[in-house]
């Protein structure tokens, strides 16, 4: 059974100033998503599912879905603030959807096999997709055994300033035991370091694993999501900024010993467009990969 690639593309793009999922940054007007999907198809994924906002379905279908539908089966699902369990209604002042794990929940009706979750606007690298596809394929019909790609923190830094990363803690079997969010990480005197509240900088090894929101789940994850989201809403229904993030549920499932999450090491270098100022660097890196023959040009 081939795994499915689930692409989170419902973000508002507010920091970047537009629908960055559709930004053409490749040498032949490719989006970052194009590279992810090219790598995923070659790695052995068998289906694509996109979660988007309903209000840009037409543009997304025209610019994105039509590229892929003859190469791999494609499905669209929609994330909106009113997609809530029975008995709950959103605060009328709420504009944003309910976060990444709420987005994942939208795939329940179309995903019945092991699946990967990625952001639409991050470049993950071909090695990561191969590692993830192989692991998900090995799971077959098992339950409660999830995974995530652990990027080496030294491969995820920005040349223009600090980055926020979820630094992973693992046990002796490379299973995730927790994720600690470090909001300021940069290289100081050649060493990767994060900033602590008391104004100290603590150095960590370059190969320390961090999460870049590249996860692998089996369909039983939807059951846990449904159960946890009800409790989350009971506590946060009137908080118009509260978001139901993937690490929130994953940490709870790990702490309660309901699941294991294998951290899979990757040599891939991550990059992405968080702010508009990042765009020229991404364009240059993609052109370099094309010039070196790592990717064909045009991609498809």
Domain ranges of the chain: 4-150+211-291
Condensed to tens digits (0 to 9), the pLDDT of residues 199-212 reads: 899 999 999 999 99
pLDDT higher than threshold 60 for residue 96: yes
Distance of alpha carbon 201 from alpha carbon 193, whole angstroms = 6
pLDDT higher than threshold 90 for residue 213: yes
At residue 15 the predicted structure's pLDDT band, cuts being 50, 70 and 90, is: very low
Q: What is the pLDDT of residue 264?
A: 98
Q: What is the pLDDT of residue 14?
A: 43
Residue of 93, 106, 91, 4 whose CA lies nearest to 53: 106
Q: Dmax of the chain from CA atoms?
A: 55
pLDDT higher than threshold 60 for residue 16: no
Least-confidence region, from 33-47, 53-67, 130-144? 53-67
Structure tokens at 7: 């692409």
At residue 81 the predicted structure's pLDDT band, cuts being 50, 70 and 90, is: confident
For the chain, how far is it from start to end, CA to CA, in angstroms? 25
Cα atoms in the Cβ-side hemisphere of radius 13 Å centred on 2: 16
Q: What is the pLDDT of residue 19?
A: 60
CA 286 to chain centroid? 19
At residue 274 the predicted structure's pLDDT band, cuts being 50, 70 and 90, is: low
Q: Average pLDDT in the 238-246 region?
A: 90
pLDDT higher than threshold 50 for residue 12: no
- Burial level of 293, CB count in 10 A (0-12/13-18/19+)? exposed
Instruction: Decide: pTM greater than 0.85.
Output: yes
β-strands 115-119, 4-8 pairing: parallel
SS3 277: helix
Mean model confidence pLDDT for the chain: 91
pLDDT higher than threshold 90 for residue 276: no
Least-confidence region, from 95-99, 173-177, 253-257? 95-99
Q: Highest-confidence range of 42-46, 120-124, 156-160, by mean pLDDT?
A: 42-46
Instruction: Report the CATH superfamily, name and number, of domain 4-150+211-291.
Output: Spore Coat Polysaccharide Biosynthesis Protein SpsA; Chain A (3.90.550.10)
More confident residue, 127 or 183: 127
pLDDT higher than threshold 80 for residue 82: yes
Q: Highest-confidence range of 147-161, 222-236, 276-290, by mean pLDDT?
A: 222-236
According to DSSP, the residues that pair with 152 across neighbouring strands are 209
């Amino acid at each position: 059974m081939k795994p499915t690639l689930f692409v989170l593309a419902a973000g508002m793009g507010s920091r970047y100033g537009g629908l960055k999922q559709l930004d053409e940054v490749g040498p032949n007007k490719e989006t970052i998503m194009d590279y992810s999907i090219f790598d995923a198809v070659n790695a052995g994924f068998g289906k694509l599912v996109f979660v988007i906002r309903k209000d840009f379905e037409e543009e997304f279908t025209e610019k994105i879905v039509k590229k892929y539908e003859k190469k791999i089966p494609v499905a669209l699902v929609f994330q909106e603030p009113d997609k809530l369990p029975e008995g709950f209604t959103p605060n009328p002042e709420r504009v944003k959807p309910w976060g990444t794990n709420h987005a994942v929940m939208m795939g329940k009706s179309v995903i019945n096999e092991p699946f990967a979750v990625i952001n639409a606007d991050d470049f993950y690298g071909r090695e990561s997709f191969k590692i993830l596809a192989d692991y998900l394929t090995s799971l077959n019909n098992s339950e409660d055994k999830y995974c995530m790609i652990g990027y080496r923190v030294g491969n995820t830094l920005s040349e223009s300033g600090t980055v926020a990363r979820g630094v992973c803690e693992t046990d002796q079997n490379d299973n995730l035991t927790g994720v600690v969010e470090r909001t300021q990480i940069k290289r100081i005197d050649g060493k990767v370091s994060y900033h602590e509240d008391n104004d100290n900088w603590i150095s960590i090894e370059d190969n320390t694993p961090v999460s870049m929101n590249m996860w692998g789940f089996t369909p039983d994850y939807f059951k846990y999501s449904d159960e946890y989201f009800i409790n989350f809403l009971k506590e946060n229904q009137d908080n118009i900024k509260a978001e139901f993030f993937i690490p929130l549920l994953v940490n709870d499932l790990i702490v309660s010993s309901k699941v294991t999450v294998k951290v899979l090491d990757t040599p891939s270098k991550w990059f992405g467009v968080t702010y508009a100022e990042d765009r020229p660097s991404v364009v240059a890196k993609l052109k370099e990969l094309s010039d070196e023959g790592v990717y064909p040009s045009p991609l498809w």
